[in-house]
Amino acid sequence: MVAYSSSIDFWCPKISRLLRLGTVFGTPKYCVMRSYRKWRTHKKSTFFSSSTLDFCKGSDKNIVLEGFILDMKIIKVLMLGDVIGNPGMEQLYIKLPQFIKKENIDLVIANGENSDNGFGITEEIIDRMRGFGVTVITSGNHIWSNQDAEALLNHYDFVLRPHNYYDSPGKGFWIGEVAGEKIAVVNLIGRYFITPVDCPFQILEKLLRKELRGIKNIIVDFHAEIMPEKKSLAYYFDGKVSFVAGTHTHVQTADDIILGNGTGYITDLGMCGGLDSVIGMEKKGILHKIRRNVNVPYVPSNENEKMQGIIIDLNLDTGKTESIQRFSM
């Protein structure tokens, strides 16, 4: 017999009867209801209670009922804040593989521009991140800090630099496939209080018209300094991209939201590293620099280390964000 929850009686008695009579041939991780005549998509919170959805967790197969098929339509995307030096890499080593397994993550995106002692990235770090389960590595203005940046960006197509750097090595977008659907990750950088670059709005519009044309599922890492620029980009492309996540400031914000046309947004993902710090660096050096206006070496902090980011439920049929879950662990 099919696994059954009495709470479905309240929502739809007809489906309840089908569930009592139907036979299950495997269970998908997430599902929506489809009739043989047409698709009908229901949000989990609208149609099923959480207890009812218990029977939907499991393998990737379909549930076949009399007259209905339940298909997997939603994937889980994990986005990590800026990884700060060895403390950040240690957090990924300790926590990320188990977290991916526990949360059934399908795609992992991490910003790696600060992973090499706070500035840039190396080939060794790229290989380690991939080993931890990271699918795509995004970056920002510090990607150029390593002397091998050009070679690395040209060699690894999953290591991105902001796409609005004009005529630069590598590229700022990645296209892959998850659960049989194309998905794209775009890396952009802001123009306020950062090195002058091309307009991120115009560059993203061009990508949507050309390279990303026809792709519904698009996630943007917008590496920018100020909230108004980040949120303006999200509102401008609401309904045209799936999610806009801010990076660069290393402070996780509590303003995650799904906009009117289905685009998810957060001003900053936070960071992976020591929170008892100034943007991930040891306090002593930063205070010395700010108080006396002298250059001192920045050292990544290992005090109160955390891994921060978000989990996105992404609807592959619509390209819209269904839910956002922040974490700091």
Give the span between the Cα atoms of 275 and 307, in whole angstroms. 10
The H-assigned helical ranges of 22-56 are 44-47
- Among all residues, which ones are annotated catalytic? 142
Q: What one-letter code names the amino acid at 103?
A: E
Phi, psi of 236 (to 5 degrees): -65, -35
Strands (E), the chain: 32-35, 63-65, 68-71, 74-80, 82-83, 107-111, 136-138, 173-178, 181-189, 217-223, 243-247, 257-258, 264-266, 271-274, 305-315, 320-328
Q: Read out DSSP for 211-246?
A: TTTT--EEEEEEE-S-HHHHHHHHHHTBTTBSEEEE
Give the count of beta carbons closer than 10 Å to the beta carbon of residue 278.
16
**Which of 39, 40, 41, 52 lies closest to 7 in space, CA to CA?**
52
Element at 259 (helix H, strand E): none
3-state secondary structure of 134: coil
